[in-house]
Structure formats: structure tokens, C-alpha cells
């Protein structure tokens, strides 16, 4: 087995183990919480469960068994892709979540692309422009963006662009405009750490000896940035970018509620109000799985971007 294959398999195994541990931690937290939302929901006549349905759910979730048995049963279902049944609707949790996943991924993906664009423009502009011509102002933008919560940006965007200017309507959430505005709302604070790390990495690369030698040889500023500074600034920026993806997934849930979009946020919001534990557990696991998948992709891209990492892995 080659070293590259071992590297990939080890990273995949770490991601799988982490995902299982996340599920166990969520299960333990829910189990140790005071009260029993499961029993109170099943026995509440307002929800209209028949004795047969209650019996079936007790058997399915092993609710009449010790917590350890319930955990093993849940892990067995998880290994087969079964996230359980919703207490509120008695429907498969996977069906409820996946009904909102495309809209949430669309929002998070669009916000990520806009955030990267914002960060690149800010960093490159701050690098090129002298302080008196706006470079200093651009360097202050990341701190400003990071200090404003996305829900506040969302409320301002709705008030200005929807209520005042009438450029989009909250009821028509399937239109392109209704996607761009919440995506920009998410992208503004998300672009801040990317721009900060990218600009700091460019400044650090600019002070390295190879950059000084390239300048002494008469290389142009654009060529210096494209050939030498950006590639060396890519690795630290890639690391923070992977973390930002996780923040965007969490922020998408809040932004969906602010803009009235349907997605995973809608499902989670309803599950919280109804104390639908299986849906909440599955939502946490789904978010962790997406976050781990992005970080796994970054780990696999690292050796491609940095030959030194390939040499290190080969020497092991």
C-alpha cells in the first residue's frame, strides 16, 4: 500500500471515528438532561398517539431498555444510514432533514463563494493600495465585518433592500434575488477571518527572501503576487476557510429564519419547539458530517499544494 493511500485512509478513518464520537456525545447529553421529553410526548393526549404507535416506538427506539442498549441500537441504525423516526410526525428523520438540505447547501455554498470573493478583493486591494489611497481602510474592513452579527446584517438588508427599495420580497424565497441577499448577509461576517488570514499571509510572504530576490530581478507587482505570494498564502487561508464552512452551515439556519427561507433551519426550529429529539440529534450529526467532510477535503488537498508535506508523508 502506497503512502498516499495510507494517508487518505487514515484521514477517512479519523473522520468516521470523530463522527461516531459526536453522535455518542449528543446521545449522552440528551439522555442526561433532566426530564423525559420522549415519555411526556408519547403519553400526551394532545399528540394523539395510539397505544399501538406508542408500543411500536418504544420497541423501535429501545426506550424500555437501559441507556447503553439504546445507544448501541442507535449506533447500529446509524451504521445503516437510519437516523430514526420523528416523535412529532412518525416519519423517517432522514426524509425530514433531506427535504431542507438542498436549500441550505445552496445558501451556504453561495455565501461561501461570495465570502471568498470579498476576502480576495479586500486582501489584494489592501496589498496594492497605499494607506492614503484606501489601503488602510480596506485593512480595517475585516475587523468591522467580524464585529457585526449576521442576523443584524440580515435585518438591515431586509429593511433597506426589501421594505425601502422593494428589490425583493420575502415571500418569494425561490427567486435568485431572494438567494443573493441572505447569501450576502452570511458572506459579510464570514469573509472577515478569511481576509485577515489571507492578507497577513501575503504580508508575511512579501517579507521572505525569495520575494526580495524576485523584486530585485525586476518582477512586476502583479506577477509577484500571482506567482509567489498567493500560492504561499494559500495554505493558512485554506485552513481558516474550512472552519468558515462550518460557521456558514450554522449561520444558514439563523439566516433562513430571518429571511423566511425553508431549509434545515426550518426543520430544526420546528423540532426545537416540538422537543423532537431524534431530529435534533440527526441535525447535529449532519452538521458535524458536513464539517468533517470539508476538513477531510482540505487535509487531502494540503499535500497537493505543498510538496514538503508529500515528502514528509513519504518519509513516514
Cell numbers linked to 44:
400526551
**Coil/strand/helix, residue 35:** coil
101-128 helix and 264-274 helix, angle to the nearest 10 degrees: 120
Would you say 195 and 122 are in contact if contact means Cβ atoms under 8 Å apart? yes
* % residues pLDDT > 70 (the chain): 81
38: pLDDT confidence band, cut at 50, 70 and 90? low
Map grid coordinates 433597506 to a residue.
Answer: 160
The residues that bridge with 92 in the sheet, in sequence order, are 85
The model's pLDDT over 44-86, given as tens digits with 9 standing for 90+, comes to 666 667 777 777 777 777 777 777 887 888 888 888 878 877 8
Distance CA 259, CA 170 (A): 6
Residue 113 has pLDDT above 80, yes or no: yes
Q: What is the mean pLDDT of the chain?
A: 77
Helix (H) or strand (E) holding 188: helix 176-206
The per-residue DSSP string of 224-256 comes to HIIIIIHHHHHHHHHHHHHHHHHHHHHHHHHHH
Q: Which of 59-63, 66-70, 169-173, 310-314 has the highest mean pLDDT?
A: 66-70
pLDDT tier for residue 176 given thresholds of 50, 70 and 90 = low
- Ordered structural domains, the chain, with CATH: 3-95 (no CATH), 101-262 (1.10.3720.10)
Average pLDDT value for residue range 165-172:
62
Q: Who's near 76: CB < 8 A, 6+ residues apart?
A: none
Amino acid at each position: 500500500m502506497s503512502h498516499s493511500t495510507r494517508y487518505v485512509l487514515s484521514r477517512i478513518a479519523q473522520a468516521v471515528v470523530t463522527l461516531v464520537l459526536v453522535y455518542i456525545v449528543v446521545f449522552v447529553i440528551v439522555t442526561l438532561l433532566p426530564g423525559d421529553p420522549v415519555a411526556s410526548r408519547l403519553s400526551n393526549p394532545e399528540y394523539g398517539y395510539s397505544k399501538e404507535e406508542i408500543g411500536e416506538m418504544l420497541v423501535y427506539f429501545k426506550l424500555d431498555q437501559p441507556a447503553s442498549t439504546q445507544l448501541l441500537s442507535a449506533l447500529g441504525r446509524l451504521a445503516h444510514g437510519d437516523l430514526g423516526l420523528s416523535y412529532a410526525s412518525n416519519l423517517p428523520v432522514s426524509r425530514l432533514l433531506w427535504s431542507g438540505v438542498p436549500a441550505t447547501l445552496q445558501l451556504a455554498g453561495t455565501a461561501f463563494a461570495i465570502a471568498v470573493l470579498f476576502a480576495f478583493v479586500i486582501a489584494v486591494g489592501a496589498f496594492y493600495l497605499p494607506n492614503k489611497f484606501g489601503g488602510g481602510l480596506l485593512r480595517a474592513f475585516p475587523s468591522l465585518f467580524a464585529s457585526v452579527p449576521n442576523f443584524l446584517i440580515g435585518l438591515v438588508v431586509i429593511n433597506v433592500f426589501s421594505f425601502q427599495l422593494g428589490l425583493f420580497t420575502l415571500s418569494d424565497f425561490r427567486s435568485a434575488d431572494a438567494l443573493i441577499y441572505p447569501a450576502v448577509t452570511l458572506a459579510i461576517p464570514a469573509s472577515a477571518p478569511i481576509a485577515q488570514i489571507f492578507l497577513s499571509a501575503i504580508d508575511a510572504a512579501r517579507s521572505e527572501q525569495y520575494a526580495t530576490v524576485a523584486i530585485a530581478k525586476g518582477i512586476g507587482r502583479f506577477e509577484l503576487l500571482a506567482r509567489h505570494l498567493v500560492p504561499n498564502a494559500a495554505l493558512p487561508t485554506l485552513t481558516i476557510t474550512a472552519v468558515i464552512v462550518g460557521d456558514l452551515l450554522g449561520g444558514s439556519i439563523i439566516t433562513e429564519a430571518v429571511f423566511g427561507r425553508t431549509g434545515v433551519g426550518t426543520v430544526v426550529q420546528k423540532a426545537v419547539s416540538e422537543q423532537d429529539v431524534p431530529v435534533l440529534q440527526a441535525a447535529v450529526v449532519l452538521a458535524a458530517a458536513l464539517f468533517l467532510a470539508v476538513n477531510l477535503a482540505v487535509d487531502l488537498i494540503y499535500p497537493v499544494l505543498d510538496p514538503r508535506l508529500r515528502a514528509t508523508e513519504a518519509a513516514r
